[in-house]
Amino acid sequence: MNPREDIAAGRRWVVKVGSALLTNDGRGLDEQMIATLVEQIAALRERGCEVVLVSSGAVAAGVVRLGLAARPHLLHDLQAAAAVGQSVLVQSYENAFKRHGIIAAQVLLGHDDVIARDRYLNARGTLNTLLDFSVVPVVNENDTVVTDEIRFGDNDTLAALVANLIDADALLLLTDQSGLYDADPRSNPHAQLVEVADVHAPELDEMAGEGGSLGRGGMVTKLRAARLAARSGTQTVIAGGRLPDVMARVTGGENLGTWLRSGRRPDTARKQWLASMLQVQGSVELDAGAVRVLRESGRSLLPVGVRGVSGAFHRGDLVSCRDSEGREIARGLVNYSAAETREVMGSPSSAIENILGYAGDPELIHRDNLVLV
Ligand SMILES: Nc1ncnc2c1ncn2[C@@H]1O[C@H](COP(=O)(O)OP(=O)(O)O)[C@@H](O)[C@H]1O
Ligand SMILES: N[C@@H](CCC(=O)OP(=O)(O)O)C(=O)O
């Protein structure tokens, strides 16, 4: 039995191509690489796979087009570079796909598009419709309008959200390394490739390091992306994009790169949406009993299990639930503001009416609005 038969069975793929691969050492877009990737996607589709491509490279392409000496640091400079570079990027893909008779579509997504549930569902509908039309969506972050606080910043996270949106079977993160090593191979020549691991294995956090000068997130964001993707049951493979025929080989189940196995059952669509919201408005500290109940029995969080509150959140905001050492356990949408939570924490739900003067929900966070981290 092929241990990677789960991968080989995948029909719906999200392929993410990082800046580190696409940008010719900072000398603009590597057109040859784009042609090679597109040829491989065409071959994948011939085998009956659906593919969404998440491609970085806009900033890097814009930097060269504008004649800048290096990747800028100021947000507006980055956004200007992205605006110039995105059209160069998408034009390159358009030309390359056309040579294979494939229609491509540009899809730019921002953080707002996943926070609002109606926009989230809309993005899902559009991507699914594009796939129904046999189009290859080419997705990037909508860099020109985002502010620093709401940027994904790295396209690994964006690719995972896209995988959630379309319920992808598998996510392929192509980069300049052959996969995840047990240490950053740039600084440790003895680093060993991890061939397969459970995506939730805690020791992976020790191994994953930051990115290079061209890319953004390194292996840290790739690991986080794989965990986010696992929420829709999506398998992740991290592999070297310069390897000949890498897409056909990985998707065929060959033992290449790092397979981060997503073992558990997929979350519900609502919980996937909740997990995709990146920004919390505050946090609550739980006592040991509440930590156990959340982790082990998937129940709601009641005010009685809360010991502390920080931040200025309102009803309906996303709040992080932490243990006494500050480790995040879960996230969820609260039924009470920070001020109200301070008043009712530590009390049984039956006392809420007396304390606040009105009868609200018995839970601080209902289990349907709660995701474990
Ligand atoms: N444990 C690790 N294994 C492999 N690469 C690592 C590791 N830790 C950090 N890295 C770095 O992550 C980089 C890839 O991420 P990044 O630069 O963000 O590329 P991309 O643009 O493809 O997302 C590699 O060049 C490598 O130096
Ligand atoms: N949206 C940006 C991509 C950000 C980025 O560099 O991502 P990555 O290469 O995945 O670390 C761009 O197109 O330049």
Domain boundaries, the chain: 5-272, 280-372
Q: Separation of 84 CA from ligand 1 center, angstroms?
A: 26
- 114 has pLDDT over 60: yes
Tens of pLDDT, residues 313-336: 998 889 999 999 999 999 999 999
Q: Is the separation of the CB atoms in 278 and 241 below 8 Å?
A: no
142 is in an annotated binding site: no
Percent above pLDDT 70 for the chain = 96
Pocket test residue of 140, 186, 236 for ligand 1, highest count of atoms within 8 A of CB: 186
Q: Residue 260: its pLDDT value, please?
A: 96
Tens of pLDDT, residues 58-74: 988 999 999 998 888 88
CA distance 182 to 49: 31
CA distances from 292 to 164, 251, 334, 366 (A): 28, 39, 19, 16
Between these two residues, 368 and 247, which has the higher pLDDT value? 247
Q: For residue 149, name the pLDDT band (cuts at 50, 70, 90).
A: low
Tell whether ligand 1 has an atom less than 6 A from the beta carbon of residue 21: yes
CA-closest candidate to residue 280, choices 143, 115, 124: 115
Angle at 107 between CA 105 and CA 113, to 5 degrees: 155
CA distance 247 to 250: 5
Query: What SS3 string covers 119-188?
Result: HHHHHHHHHHHHHHCCCEEEEEECCCCCCHHHCCCCHHHHHHHHHHHCCCCEEEEEECCCCCECCCCCCC
CATH architecture of 280-372: Roll (2.30)
Q: Residue 343: its pLDDT value, please?
A: 95
Which is the CATH superfamily of the domain at 5-272?
A: Acetylglutamate kinase-like (3.40.1160.10)
56 is in an annotated binding site: yes
What is the bridge-based pairing of β-strands 196-198 and 258-261? parallel
Tens of pLDDT, residues 154-169: 899 999 999 998 999 9
- 212 has pLDDT over 70: no
Q: Residue 360: its pLDDT value, please?
A: 84
Q: Is the separation of the CB atoms in 31 and 64 below 8 Å?
A: no
If you average pLDDT over every residue of the chain, what do you get?
Answer: 90
Rg (CA), the chain: 22
Tell whether ligand 1 has an atom less than 6 A from the beta carbon of residue 180: yes
Q: Residue 102: its pLDDT value, please?
A: 97
CA-closest candidate to residue 370, choices 334, 345, 327: 334
If you take atom 7 of ligand 2, which residue's CA is the nearest one?
154
Tell whether ligand 1 has an atom less than 6 A from the beta carbon of residue 212: yes
Q: Separation of 60 CA from ligand 2 center, angstroms?
A: 8
